[in-house]
Structure 1
Amino acid sequence: MNAASVELGLPTFSDSLISFNSANNLFRSAYVTRLNHYVLGPKGSNISQAANGWSTKNGLTEKENIIFCETPEEAVTRSESEYKHGEVNLAWTCAVYFREHELFFSNHDHSLFFDQYKMKLDNMQLACKPEKKISLEVATAIASHPSPSVLLRKAGTHISIIDASSNSDAARLCAEGNVDACITTESARKIHGLKTVHEFGSPEMLFFASLPPSSSEYLRGLSYEFR
């Protein structure tokens, strides 16, 4: 950091973060005992499935530990604050998260795009309780995370969108009777015993694994040691 930056109190992006290619073999070593994945919950979210898919692709499921968070911001913060020596923490975000830019510029010392994983979304759909009949031509309260809520823009003025913290949280709100319907995933629909009203589909989506400074420093230390 140069003198002007110190005087102004402005941050600088770190240029010492380790890359995935450098860390990949270290993940499999005995020096990394656990990979903690901080993901948006509750169970059934696309992000949690992406984290598991990444572990499977890289042969790391035996070290995988999924930790559910209420927001992507919480996932990024906890991935740093809950660091333990010998473990590596990863926080997961999504390319279409509507605050992704804020996360990036607010966490300049994190490797927010450390690695990526592409997968088809888990059948995004409009769902409701089995006994419910849904008509979008009358007043209807629908729970949705802000990102996919735009799918309802053309549904009419009778729709009232209730913010949910995730697709799986939307299913929970619906199952508890707080709303008439929800935008959710197939997995969350099954977990909460809902029925499908409309299928939006399963487009490809990109997810990002973020590496916090403490985990990056630990991996960099290992890479220097074994050169």
Structure 2
Amino acid sequence: MSVVSIQEKTNLGKRIKSIHTLGPTGTNCEKAAKLWFEREGINGEVILHKTLEEAIIQVKNTENSALLGCAVYPKLHNLVFANLAHIELVDSFIIPTYNMVLAARKETDMHQDCKLASHPAPVDLAYTFSDNILLVNSNSQAALDCASGNADACITTITAARKNNLVIIKDFGEVPMCFTLHAKGK
């Protein structure tokens, strides 16, 4: 087993020019990727994907790129262990998410039959309000599905809710969250 020194980790992190992560715009992963570049003093590009499973393909085929995942992303462990020959964990950090909210197109009385869009990670927040859950690929996608009428309400970020002109029904606040950065190995 090799141990990555702090110097090696720093050098590996400095060569990252693009971060592939979960989209569409407004996700907590996008926020974390932008903050990572800012913290590292790198003028890098954040590239958004429908899923991290799609993003990892690009990371494996692109020089100077990395995958940013959220520690609560469903099956992140599968992505890591299925790609050990291609990527390695180079950083992890904790930042607050955007406020997580229950939102709808209009002020509504929530009931157990409401169709509620949610990413699998915060879905337990959704079950408090409805048993009719539409699982989607991201918190931002949940807001898009609600705004387009595919769902009556959604669990999303406050940023995505505002961008899609949704009414905030309940604000759960920020959640301290761990994000992981995986780059191509040596």
Above 0.5 in TM-score?
yes
Instruction: Give structure 2 stretches of 5+ with no counterpart.
Output: none
> Does the CA contact (< 8 Å) of 2:103 and 2:156 recur in 1?
yes
Structure 1 position 201 matched with structure 2 position 173: yes
> Does the CA contact (< 8 Å) of 2:101 and 2:168 recur in 1?
yes
Tell me, in whole angstroms, the C-alpha distance in 1 between the residues paired with 2:5 and 2:56. 18
CA RMSD of the aligned region, Å?
2.1
Percent of pairs with identical residues: 33
Q: How far apart are 1:93 and its partner, in Å?
A: 0.8
Structure 1 position 172 matched with structure 2 position 158: no
Segments of 4+ moved more than 4 angstroms: 15-20, 25-28
Change in 2 beyond 3 A, CA 1:135/1:97: same
Q: Residues 20-71 of structure 1: CA distance to partner in whole angstroms, max 9, x if unpaired?
A: 631424665xxx5x611101000000001001111111111x2x11111111
Structure having the higher Rg: 1
Structure 1 position 106 matched with structure 2 position 82: yes
Question: 1:154-169 counterparts in 2 under 5 A?
Answer: 154-155=128-129, 158-169=130-141
TM-score normalised by L of structure 1:
0.75
Change in 2 beyond 3 A, CA 1:76/1:18: farther
Which residue, 59, 67, 81 being the options, matches 2:47?
67
Question: 1:39-58 counterparts in 2 under 5 A?
Answer: 39-58=21-40
Tell me, in whole angstroms, the C-alpha distance in 1 between the residues paired with 2:121 and 2:12. 35
Tell me, in whole angstroms, the C-alpha distance in 2 between the residues paired with 1:99 and 1:164. 15
Tell me, in whole angstroms, the C-alpha distance in 2 between the residues paired with 1:80 and 1:46. 23
Tell me, in whole angstroms, the C-alpha distance in 1 between the residues paired with 2:121 and 2:155. 10
TM-score normalised by L of structure 2:
0.90
Look up the equivalent residue of 2:144 and give its one-letter code.
R
SS at match of 2:17: strand
> Does the CA contact (< 8 Å) of 2:112 and 2:132 recur in 1?
no
Tell me, in whole angstroms, the C-alpha distance in 2 between the residues paired with 1:26 and 1:162. 39
Change in 2 beyond 3 A, CA 1:163/1:138: closer
Tell me, in whole angstroms, the C-alpha distance in 1 between the residues paired with 2:141 and 2:132. 17
Q: How many residues align?
A: 186
Change in 2 beyond 3 A, CA 1:175/1:79: same
Q: How far apart are 1:101 and its partner, in Å?
A: 2.0
> Does the CA contact (< 8 Å) of 2:13 and 2:90 recur in 1?
no
Tell me, in whole angstroms, the C-alpha distance in 1 between the residues paired with 2:114 and 2:103. 12
Look up the equivalent residue of 1:177 and give its one-letter code.
G
> Does the CA contact (< 8 Å) of 1:124 and 1:185 recur in 2?
yes
Q: Residues 134-160 of structure 1: CA distance to partner in whole angstroms, max 9, x if unpaired?
A: 2223520011001111113333xx531
SS at match of 1:136: coil
Give the corresponding residue for 1:89: 65
Instruction: Give structure 1 stretches of 5+ with no counterpart.
Output: 1-14, 218-227
Structure 1 position 184 matched with structure 2 position 156: yes
Tell me, in whole angstroms, the C-alpha distance in 1 between the residues paired with 2:154 and 2:67. 26
Q: How far apart are 1:194 and its partner, in Å?
A: 1.3
Give the corresponding residue for 2:7: 21
Q: Residues 81-139 of structure 1: CA distance to partner in whole angstroms, max 9, x if unpaired?
A: 2x14xxx101011111121221122112244422012100100001111xx23222352
> Does the CA contact (< 8 Å) of 1:116 and 1:207 recur in 2?
yes
